[in-house]
Amino acid sequence: MEKRKLGNSGLEVSALGLGCMGMSFAYGPAPDKKEMVNLIHSAIEKGITFFDTAEVYGPFTNEELVGEALAPFRKQVVIATKFGFKEEGEGRWSGLDSRPEHIRTVAEASLKRLKTDVIDLFYQHRVDPNVPIEDVAGTVKDLISEGKVKHFGLSEAGAQTIRRAHAVQPVTALQSEYSLWHRKPEEEIMPVLEELGIGFVPFSPLGRGFLTGKMDETTQFDKNDFRNSLPRFDAENRKANLAVVELLHNIAAQKNATPVQIALAWLLSQKPWIVPIPGTTKLHRLEENIGSVNIELTADDLHRIDAAVSGITIHGSRYTEAGEKMAGR
């Protein structure tokens, strides 16, 4: 598979990564662990070298899964995980905690669960308004000097926060939501990333499954699926947002591709330092995602897509009000 470098950091990864959250968290009952280990191994065989997890996914079980699956291939892969939430116990989390001592505690626990002696990319999961970002960056800088972390990342951070953090410890990558139905990062964030030489890792590049074209307003989610709580996924908003999916279907038909592949190829075409991390629990979806790397969108294709999307209003917020407050600080 094609390789890409995340900004000026020199961190080289496969053009597509694999988001592992859904293998144990968020979208209903967790799949069989052995099957997910096999899926991760298949991803490696097909050229994926970049794997994304976090302590809160599960909680903890996702890091354990990723650690077990990647242990035999540790030198071939890049593991990204995250800190920054406050644990209440019994799988419950209450707010944010990026105090330096907490970051260190999380790092030590993640290293054990991931069965490794170094975290390749350590993201602050959400910006903590109660802890200066300089203190966060400084703590990760210390972890890097101690050999426990290689690279520092931020997630859903605003432009000024990125600048302040980068001044203390160079930020290798920003992970934020970016797709054809959430293009807000183009306004302020991407120019800053380009200026500072920071890579961009879009999560939910397929709109949490909506851009696959496999759901509509009648789709029923499992009772434990977190999309039940997202305004953008209520039935009326899904119905209104099908206009984006129809556009993808039309482009895909012309390119002998699938809507999924067009959505990912569009992201890959935006900047050479963008590495999407679509998640999946199914081998055929993994293969479909990987196929996007070989889809070539011409300048005319991209212009037509941009023109069409600019005429579509996306209905519904990405998160609940509380979730929106955590994004873009």
β-bridge partners, 201? 175
Tell me which residue of 283, 269, 260, 280 sits closest to 51, measured CA to CA. 280
| Distance set, CA 307 to CA 227, 234, 240, 304, 312 (Å) | 29, 26, 18, 5, 9
- DSSP E strands in 135-193: the ranges are 149-155, 171-177
**Residues recognised as catalytic:** 57
DSSP 87: E
| Distance set, CA 130 to CA 90, 134, 284 (Å) | 25, 12, 43
User: What is the C-alpha separation between 14 and 277, in angstroms, rounded?
Assistant: 10
Which region, left, alpha or beta, applies to residue 261 given φ > 0 means left and ψ of -120 to 50 means alpha? Answer: alpha
Strand 149-155 relative to strand 171-177: parallel, antiparallel, unpaired? parallel
With tokens 């994926």, the residue in question is: 48
With tokens 């293998």, the residue in question is: 23
